[in-house]
Structure formats: structure tokens, C-alpha cells
Structure 1
Amino acid sequence: MKFKDMPYQRVDFEQVEKEMQGLMEAFDRAQSGEEQFAVHQKYYELTDQVGTQMTIAHIRFDVDTTDEFYSKEQDYYNEKRPILHNLMLAYENKLYESPYRAYLEEKIGAVAFKNMELARKSMDEKLIPLMQEENVLKTEYNKLIAGAKIAFEGKELNLSLLRPYLVHSDRNVRAAAYRKQSEFFAENAEKLDEIFDRLVKNRTAQAREMGYENYLELGYYRMRRNCYGREEVEAFRSQIKESFVPFAEKLHDRRRKRLGLDKLSYIDAAVYFREGNPAPFGTPEEILAAGQKMYHELSPETGEFYDFMMENELFDVLGRKTKRAGGYMTYMPVYNSPFVFANFNGTSGDVDVITHECGHAFQGYLSGRDPIREHSDITMETAEIHSMSMEFFTQDWMELFFGERAKDYIEMHLEDSAAFIPYGCMVDEFQHIVYENPEMTPEERHRAWLELEKVYRPHQDYGDDIFFAKGAFWQKQQHIYNSPFYYIDYSLAQICALQYKVKMDADFDGAWESYLKLCRLSASDFYTNMVREAGLTSPFEPGCVKNIVEKLEKYVK
């Protein structure tokens, strides 16, 4: 079914609560594991219906954040989502404590029960008012960012539409665009600090209500770190500091020489060639059509998936002034339909949508066929392998988008992928500092960010920029406000994606079979087990980062 034709009806949570209570009573009456699993399948049907309606409303609000109807729906779900979360937890507690648990665990897997354990540690009915407030604060931040109105070169732009000028080949244009971006953030600096301060204090209050010292432990439970913890993450970040940061700095210096500069400035951060970054040619419709050709040639599975996406109009990629910034893939289980949301702006990022977000969507399309819904409930460090690896698997088709500059794009993409990893770790360490010290002032948070810049991105120079020079770059990173502790997942996944890059250059077909296997494994096993089963080295394994750096050196000599 086309997305525009999918019917929407506001979820009646009183009715949902009645149905959930009925399911729990039926679950208690069941006399065998088979009978309880039959009830559980009805639970799938109910939560699929609820989740699909909430997702449709979410997408339609993001497509136009000024839409009065869907804005009210968003407010409604901000209030009701924690109530639903609590109802689902009550049901899962029945599942977790079932006398037939052995049978149920055989049916839906050990990972599902471990995730239930973490959910029990991360939610209680008493948190609902705080969670409702947290949702309101996140929406306030997203509306603020989406509502940017930046006057530039006779146009009124939002942050997404300003992006082409930030990577312009003319440094003067870049400098002017960055000044405009900084002015927007500087004008809203007090509000940005206030929203984040309230979020930190809100999340800390939730953690203390649950008996934790700070939000760190609760945040890890909510990210479902079900097979590793803080120690493993800190050890991984140490590997990055020791082995990857020096490698990334070499790449930045290589880029500096290519640009003909004595010193890199922050306005050069996303520029890779003196003549400008390669940009895709063609209209958005032509880019989507080129994607269809590419995925048909890549594999039968990806061809079928992409046809489904196009036929059902499951892309909304045009940049518009009232559209939420950023991009994502989400999923509507009733229709087995992934959905890709993005903001095309004429830069290479448009093609990244066709590779990265479609990597997520392809995996969602495959896992949606699994009758065990818990197998689709992947953790983010796994999900990002699917997307980041697809960026590499599709590189043989970049001529479709960039023509004679395809090689430039491939070189830029590899350098950008590598340069991202220290940044992802920096965001993670910053959040650890912030939530371990919730009483920090905004100024102290900004200073902490600047100190981390020296460790992870020593080349970065903000000069006298009115906003970024004070250590406020992180405030444009939406994950920090919306999804605490998510960002390390990108760095973990990128290390795995780079392993696929090395593998596919040696044996493309073998690497693709490994990738398909990982996608189909979904969440049927724990992350650390699955990467090994797919033939990858876990990023947590000592020496993993050093080993991948040694293999990547050949690409940059």
C-alpha cells in the first residue's frame, strides 16, 4: 500500500489498555507454553497495529512540523507513549516470569528475555510523568532546529537547505554560510542550553527514582546493552584514541594538502577537493531511479526490496522549509513497510540516503518477514552495520550518480567514514561526562567538549566563531538531545563496515553472503556472537582497531 493511502486513526489508549489486560488474563489462564505463545501472537497483532498508527503520525508530523493536525497528534503521543511503554512492560513481566519460560525462550530466543530483563530495570510506572516531560523537551528541541529560517544569498533556508553552501568549493561562500549557521545557533544558545539542562536533570531524576546513582546505568539499559557494558565501551574508545586518531589525523593532513591549505579550519571540515566535493547529477526523481537500477544489479533481494519501496512511495526525501532536519528509516509492521525520510539538498549526502538509509530499510524489509517479532528488535550497534556497510557494497555503482567523479566520491567516502569514528567516540565520552556530572553548568559542558576536541580531533580549529569556538558544536548533534548514548553505536558499526570494505575488495560475493547472513540473523542472537558468526572481528576484541588501521593504510598511500 502506498504511504499516502495508509489510513490513520488516533490510537485509543483506553481500548488498548483493555485489550492488554485481556491478553494478560488469557496468558495467566493458559495451561501450556503452546497456549501462552498463541496469546503472544495476539500481542504481536495488537502492538503492530498500535505501532503502525503511531509511526504514520510521526512521519506525517516530521514531513511538515507546522501541520496543525499532526502536531497535536505528536503532542498526544508524547503524553501517551510512556503509558504504552508501561503496559507493554507489564505484559512482558508475565512472559518473563512464565512457568513455561523454557518453551517460550525456545520460540522467541534468549536475546528477547535478556532485553525483557533490561526493560524491567529501566521502567516503572512512577517514571511516566518524567518521561512525558522528556518527550515534550525533545519535541521542543526538534521544532527549534526544524524551524530555522536563515537568510542567505537572497533565499530563506533551513539548516538542511543551507548544507550545500557549507561544502561549497569557494571558501568565502563556505565562511559566509558557516557565519549564518553560527548566528542561528548563537541566537538560540540560551534556549539550547536550557532545553539540554532540563533534559539532563530530567533523565537524572528518572535514574534516581529507579535507585541508580545517575543516568549512565539507566541509559545503558534503555539502549539494551545486552552483551557488553561501560568497561567494554571505554576500552574501545581507548583503542580509538591509541590507534585510530593518529590514522584519522593523517587523512585530515592529506586532505589539507589536497585543498592547498596551510591549515585546516572548521569551515573546511566537510570539503575534500579544491574544486569542491563531488555532487550527484540529476533530479531527486532521477537519483531514486538510479538507485533502482543499482539495487537490481546488486542482488535479487535488494532489487525486490527497492521495487517495493518505489511502488509504495515509501521515500520522502525532498528538502522543504518546514520539514524536520536529518534523515532516518522507520518501519510500519502492519504493512511490512520500511519508510525512508530525508532532506535532499544537492550534495553527496543525497546518495548517502540511497545507500545508508536503504541499508537500514533493506534489513527491516528482510526481518519483517520473520514471524517472531522479537527478532526484529535489533540493537543500534547492529543496525548501523547494515546501513554503513551498504554504503561500501554499492560503490561500484557510483558512476550512476557522480559520473566521471565517482572515484572522487569513493575516496571522499572512505576518508569521511574513517574521520567519523573518533567523532562518534567523542560524542559518547562527552555524554558519559555530562550524565556522571549532572550539576555541570552549560559553560562547564562547553569546556568539556573543547577538551575532548583536543583528544579526538586535534586538527579542529574554530577560530573566533561566535558559537562553535566556545565549545558548542555538540548542540547541533540531534542524537545528544534525542537519543542518549546512541552515538557510540555508529563508531562500533563503522569498524565492522570497514572490515566489510576490506573483505569485499578481496571477495565481493563472499562478503555479500556474509552481509546477507548478518541481516537475516537480525536480533536472533547477541551482537558479539552475530559479528563473529558473520565472520567479522568484534570491535571490543583487543587489537581489532589496530588491525583494521593496518589494512586501511594501503588505501591512503
Structure 2
Amino acid sequence: MKFKEMPYQRVDLEEKRVRFQEIMNEFANAESGEAQFQVHKKYYKFKDEIETMVTMAKIRHDIDTTDPFYEKEQSYYDEIEPELIDMNVIYARQMYDSPYRAYLEEKIGTVAFKNIQLNIRSFDKKLIPLKQEENTLTTAYDKLIASAEIEWEGETLNLSLLRKYLTHKDREVRQKAYTKYCAFFEANGEKLDSIYDELVKNRTKQANELGYDTFVEIGYDRVKRNCYGKDMVENFRKQVKEYFVPFAGRLHERRKNRLGLEKLSCIDEGVYFANGNPEPIGTPQEIMVSAQKMYGELSKETKEFFDFMTENELFDVLGRKRKRAGGYMTYLPDYNAPFIFANFNGTSGDINVITHECGHAFQGYLSGKDPIKEHADITMETAEIHSMSMEFFTEPWMNQFFGKRTDDYGFMHLEDCAIFIPYGCMVDEFQHIVYENPQMTPAQRHEAWKQLESQYRPHMDYEGFPYFEKGGFWQKQPHIFDDPFYYIDYCIAQICAFQFKIRMDENYQEAWDSYLKLCNLSASDFFTNMLKEVGLDSPFEDGCVKKIVEKLESLYMTKA
């Protein structure tokens, strides 16, 4: 069914409570593990119906953040989401305490029960008012960012549409665009600081209510860190500082020389060639036609997936005013349908969206066929391997999008991926500092960010942009507001994606088969175990990051 034809009906919380209690009673009265599993399948259907409506409302609200109907629906779900979480936790606790738990664990897996433990540990009914407030605050941030109206030569642009000019080949255009970009954050800086300050206090209070000193512990539980913890993440960041930061520094130096500059400024960030970054050929509609051809040729599995997405119009990728910034893949369980949301802006990022988000969507499409729903409950670092690796697996088709500048795009993409890792780790360390010191003032948070930039991105120069110079750049990163502790998953996944890149250049089919295996494994095993199963080194192991840097330097970085 086409997305626009999918009927929407607000979730009636009271009606769902009645149905939920019926399922709970039936589960409690079941007299065998198999009988409880059959009730569990009814719970799948119950939960899918709710998630489909909540997700549909979110997508339609994000498509137009000023639509009054879906604005009300989003506010409604912000309010009742904690109640829905509470039902999930109550049901999960009953499964966890079941006398037939061993049978259920055999059916749905050890990982599922570990995730149940994390869910129970990170939520309690008494948090509902705080969760409602948290949802309201994150929606306020998203709406504020989406509200940007930047005048540009007779047009009114949002932040996503301004991106094209931030990476323009003409340095004067970049200067002008960056000035307007910075001005938006400076004008809204106090409001953004206030929203974040309230979020930090809110999340810290939630942690205190559950008996934790800081939000870090339940933040990790929320993102389902089910096989590694803070110490392993800290060791990973340490390796990145030791090996990837100097490597990124060498890449920035080469980029500076290619651009013919004496020194790099923040206005040069994301610009790789003096004649401009390669831009995709054709209209957005033509790009989507080329994408369908690409996925049709990559494998029979990707052909089936992309044809399904196209036939059912499960994309909204055109950049528009009043549309939420950014991009994502989400899932409509009642229709076994992934959905891709993005903001095309005429840059190479449009192609990155079609490869990255389709990596997520492809895996979601595969896992939707698995009758054990818990297997679709993948952790984020696993999900980002699916997407980041797909960016590399689609490289043989990039000539369809970039023509004569295909080689430039390939080089830019590889370099951009490498340069990202220090930034991503910086975002993560910033969040640890903030939540371990919740009493910090907004000014102290800005200073902390500034200090981290000197460690992770010493090349970055904000001269002429005082708001960013004093440490305000982090406010543009939605994950910091909306999804605490998620961002490091991109870095962990990028190290794994680089391993697939190295392998595919040696034997493409063998690498693809390994990737497909990882996608099909979904969440049937723990992340660190699945890496071993598909032949990847764990980024947490000492020596892994060093080895990747050495490989990238020897195999690819002599080409530019």
C-alpha cells in the first residue's frame, strides 16, 4: 500500500489499556511455555498496531512541522509515549519472571532477555511525568531547528537547504552562507541552551529517581548497550585520539593543499576540491530512477527491496520549507514497510542518503520477514554498520550519479568518512562530560566543547564567527538533544564499514555475502559475537583502530 493511502487513526490509550490487560491475564494463565509464546505472538500484533500509528503520525508531522492536525498528534504521542513504554516494561517484566522463561528464551533468544533487563532497569512508572517533559523538550528543539528561515537571493531556505551553499566552490559564497548559518544559532543560542539545560536536569532527575548518580548508566541502558560498557567506549575513544586524530590531521593538510589555501577555516569544512565538490547529475526524480537501477543490479535481495519501496512510495526525500531537518529510516510494522525521510539539497549528500538510509531500510526489510520480532530490535552500532557499509557497496554504480567526477566522489567519500570519526567521538565525550557534571552552566558546556575541539579537531578555525568560536557549534547536532549517547555508534560502525571496504576491494562477492549475513543475523546475537561470526575485528580491541589507519593509508591515501 502506498504511504499516502495508509489510513491513520489515533491510538486510543484507554482502549489499548483494556486490550493490554487481557493479554497480560492470558499470559499469566497460560500453563506451558508454548502457550505463553502463542500469547506473546498476540502481543506482537498489539504492539505493531500501536507503533504503526505512532510512526505514521511522526513521519507526517516531520514532512510538514506546521501541519496543525499532525502537530496535535505529535503532541499527543509525546504525552502518552511514557504510558506506552510503561505497558511494554510491565509486559517484559512478566516475561522475565515467567516460570517458563527458559522455554521463552530458547524461542526468542538470550539477547532479547538481556534487552528486557535493560528496559526494566531504565524505566519506572514514576518517571512518566519526566518522560513527558523530555519528549516536549526534544520536540521543541526539532521545531526550532526546522523553523529557520534564511533569506538567500530572493529565496527562503531552511538549514538543510542552506547546506548547498555552505559547501559551494566559491569561498565568498561559503563565507556568506556560513555567516547566515552562524547567525541563526547566535540568535537562538539562549533558547537552545535553555532547552538543553532543562533536558540535562530532566534526564539526571530520571536517573536519580531510579537510584543512579548520573544519567550515564540509564543512558547506556536506553540505547541497549547489552555487551559493552563505558570503559570499552572510553578505550575506543582513546585509540581514536592516538591514531585517528593524527591521521585526520594529515587528511586535512592534504585537503588544504588541494584547495590552495594557506590555512583552513570552518567555512572550508566539507569542501574537498578547488573546483567544487562533485554534485549529482540529474533531477531528484532521475536520481531515484538511477537508484532503482543500481539496487536492481546489486543483488536479487536489494532489487526486491527497492522495487517494494518504490511501488509503495516509501520515500520523502525532497527538501522543503517547514520540513524537519535531517534524514532517517523508520519502520511501519503493520505493512512490513521501511520508510526513508530526507532533505535533498543538490549536493553529494543526496546520494549519501540513498545509500546510507537504504542500508538501514534494506536490513529493516529483511528483518521484517523474521517471525521473531525481537530479532529486529538491533542495537544502533549494528544498524549503522548496515548503512555505512552500504555506502561502500554501492560504489561501482556511482558513475550513474557523478559521471566524469565519479573518482572524485569516491575519494571525497572515503576521506569524509575518515575525518568524521574524531568528530563523532568528540560528540560522545562531550555528552559524558555533561551528564557526569549536570550542574555545569551553559557557559561551562560551551567551554567544554571548545576544549574537546582542540583535542579532536585541532585544525578547526572559527575566527570571524564568535558564537562558534566560544564553543556553540554542538547545538546544531540533533543527536545531542534527541538521542543521548547514540552518536558513538556511528564511529564504532564506521570502523567496521572500513573493514568491509577493504575486503570488498579484494573480493567484492565474498564481502557482500558477509554483509548480507550480518543483515540477516539482525539482533539474534550480541554485537561483539556477530562481528566474529562475519569475520570483522571488534573496534574495542586494542590494535584494531591502529590497523585500520595503517590499511587506509597504504591502500587508498596515496591516490590523491
Give the shorter-chain TM-score range: over 0.9
Partner of 2:64: 64
Q: Which residue identity lines up with residue 470 of structure 2 in the other structure?
A: K
Post-superposition shift, 1:396? Answer: 0.8
Q: For residues 534 and 368 of structure 2, what CA distance do their matches in structure 1 show? A: 20
SS in 2 for 1:98: coil
Partner of 1:494: 494
Contact 1:78 1:135 in 2 (8 A): yes
Post-superposition shift, 1:388? Answer: 0.2
- The answer on 1:97 being equivalent to 2:103 is no
Contact 1:381 1:493 in 2 (8 A): yes
Contact 1:183 1:466 in 2 (8 A): no
Q: Which runs of 4+ in 1 moved over 6 A?
A: none
Partner of 1:15: 15
SS in 1 for 2:173: helix
SS in 2 for 1:135: helix
Q: For residues 166 and 493 of structure 1, what CA distance do their matches in structure 2 show? A: 27
Post-superposition shift, 1:402? Answer: 0.5
Partner of 1:230: 230
Within 5 Å, give how 1:153-172 maps onto structure 2. 153-172=153-172
Unaligned runs of 5+ in 1: none
Q: For residues 219 and 362 of structure 2, what CA distance do their matches in structure 1 show? A: 28
SS in 2 for 1:160: helix
Post-superposition shift, 1:467? Answer: 1.8
Q: For residues 120 and 317 of structure 2, what CA distance do their matches in structure 1 show? A: 38
Q: For residues 501 and 220 of structure 1, what CA distance do their matches in structure 2 show? A: 29
Q: For residues 317 and 478 of structure 2, what CA distance do their matches in structure 1 show? A: 19
Contact 1:141 1:481 in 2 (8 A): yes
- Give the TM-score normalised by structure 1: 1.00
Post-superposition shift, 1:154? Answer: 2.0
Q: Give deviations 1:64-107, integer Å, cap 9, x for gaps.
A: 00000000000000000000000110001110011011110000
Contact 1:421 1:494 in 2 (8 A): yes
Partner of 1:277: 277
Post-superposition shift, 1:464? Answer: 2.5
Q: For residues 103 and 241 of structure 1, what CA distance do their matches in structure 2 show? A: 45
Post-superposition shift, 1:470? Answer: 1.1
Q: Give deviations 1:424-453, integer Å, cap 9, x for gaps.
A: 000000000000000101110001001100
SS in 2 for 1:556: coil
Partner of 1:342: 342
Contact 1:496 1:536 in 2 (8 A): yes
Q: Give deviations 1:473-503, integer Å, cap 9, x for gaps.
A: 1000000000000000000000000000000
Post-superposition shift, 1:153? Answer: 1.8
Q: Which residue identity lines up with residue 2 of structure 1 in the other structure?
A: K
Post-superposition shift, 1:291? Answer: 0.3
Q: For residues 271 and 237 of structure 1, what CA distance do their matches in structure 2 show? A: 26
Partner of 2:364: 364
SS in 2 for 1:178: helix
Partner of 1:556: 557
- Give the TM-score normalised by structure 2: 0.99
Contact 1:152 1:180 in 2 (8 A): no
Q: For residues 69 and 482 of structure 2, what CA distance do their matches in structure 1 show? A: 23
Q: Give deviations 1:293-344, integer Å, cap 9, x for gaps.
A: 1111111100110000000000000100010000000000110000000000
Q: Give deviations 1:87-137, integer Å, cap 9, x for gaps.
A: 110001110011011110000000000001011110000000000000000
Post-superposition shift, 1:155? Answer: 1.3
Partner of 2:88: 88
- The answer on 1:544 being equivalent to 2:544 is yes
Partner of 2:477: 477
Q: For residues 403 and 513 of structure 1, what CA distance do their matches in structure 2 show? A: 28
Identity of aligned residues (%): 66
Partner of 2:52: 52
Post-superposition shift, 1:466? Answer: 2.9
Partner of 1:182: 182
SS in 2 for 1:129: helix
SS in 1 for 2:466: coil
Post-superposition shift, 1:175? Answer: 0.4
Q: For residues 274 and 408 of structure 1, what CA distance do their matches in structure 2 show? A: 12
Within 5 Å, give how 1:157-306 maps onto structure 2. 157-306=157-306
SS in 2 for 1:280: coil
State the number of aligned residues.
557
Partner of 1:428: 428
SS in 2 for 1:389: helix
Partner of 2:380: 380
Q: Give deviations 1:132-175, integer Å, cap 9, x for gaps.
A: 00000000000000010011222111001101000000000000
Q: Which residue identity lines up with residue 341 of structure 2 in the other structure?
A: F
Q: For residues 466 and 174 of structure 1, what CA distance do their matches in structure 2 show? A: 17
Contact 1:385 1:493 in 2 (8 A): yes
Partner of 2:533: 533
Q: For residues 510 and 368 of structure 2, what CA distance do their matches in structure 1 show? A: 24
Partner of 1:309: 309
Q: For residues 2 and 93 of structure 1, what CA distance do their matches in structure 2 show? A: 37
Contact 1:206 1:215 in 2 (8 A): yes
Partner of 2:398: 398
Post-superposition shift, 1:356? Answer: 0.1
Q: Which residue identity lines up with residue 465 of structure 2 in the other structure?
A: D
